[in-house]
Chain A
Amino acid sequence: KQEVTQIPAALSVPEGENLVLNCSFTDSAIYNLQWFRQDPGKGLTSLLLIQSSQREQTSGRLNASLDKSSGRSTLYIAASQPGDSATYLCAVYPNFGNEKLTFGTGTRLTIIP
């Protein structure tokens, strides 16, 4: 059974710092991986989708990498801002045609102004 873990569970950093969020999965035979953010009381907002053939994706100040062989993905946030405060979730697609995403445990990020 696929298990997805995110470390740390919570992180507080001063505004302006660069930071890295980690996502580990136990079964490396995944298809794709997607990063989301969730604001309190809200749904999930998609950040980046990394296809199985890709190693990284970038969007603005965000960069996500994927290393399937080691079962890891990282989300890099550059020049953090208070508006980045949210819970960040990674989710893995087990294989093509399997629609059940397995979500990570989440990292609650707080950016201190």
Chain B
Amino acid sequence: GAGVSQSPSNKVTEKGKDVELRCDPISGHTALYWYRQSLGQGLEFLIYFQGNSAPDKSGLPSDRFSAERTGGSVSTLTIQRTQQEDSAVYLCASSLRGLGVDGYTFGSGTRLTVV
């Protein structure tokens, strides 16, 4: 696609429910990233994919968070048993080759509110 697409744009969920956030990167981009931006906080790295594999999952805050990428394209970030502290904007980005060479293109984000 022309840009990085994320869905849904907004999600309100009850505490304890599971949520899935979707990211559709730019076609042909091999690298895909998830970041989180909490209110008043900076951007926090969550996970990085190169193709379908995730060489760096070190930013996932707990084992309630998981992500996968299929077909070297779409990625899904899953948060199980959501907590109020999970409320944030979840941003996805893609890069043609990764490795810091080409720069990132970000999507518009999914605003998650846990009530």
Contact = CB atoms under 8 A, between A and B. Distances in A.
B56 A42 contact: no
Contacts of B12: none
A99 B33 contact: yes
Interface in A32-68: 32, 34, 36, 41-46, 49, 51
A97 interface: yes
Given A43-B106, A43-B108, A101 B45 contact: yes
B42 interface: yes
Given A99-B98, A100-B45, A103-B43, A46 B107 contact: no
Contacts of A46: 103-106
A51 B104 CA distance: 13
A97 B56 CA distance: 11
A81 interface: no
Contacts of A105: 42
A25 interface: no
A42 B103 contact: no
B109 A42 contact: yes
Contact of B48 (A34, A41, A100): A100
Interface of A: 31-32, 34, 36, 41-46, 49, 51, 89, 91, 93, 95-101, 103-106
Given A34-B103, A99-B55, A105-B42, 10 more contacts: A32-B101, A43-B108, A46-B103, A89-B43, A91-B43, A91-B104, A99-B98, A100-B58, A101-B43, A104-B42
Interface of B: 4, 6, 31, 33, 35, 42-43, 45, 48, 55-56, 58-59, 91, 93, 98-109, 111
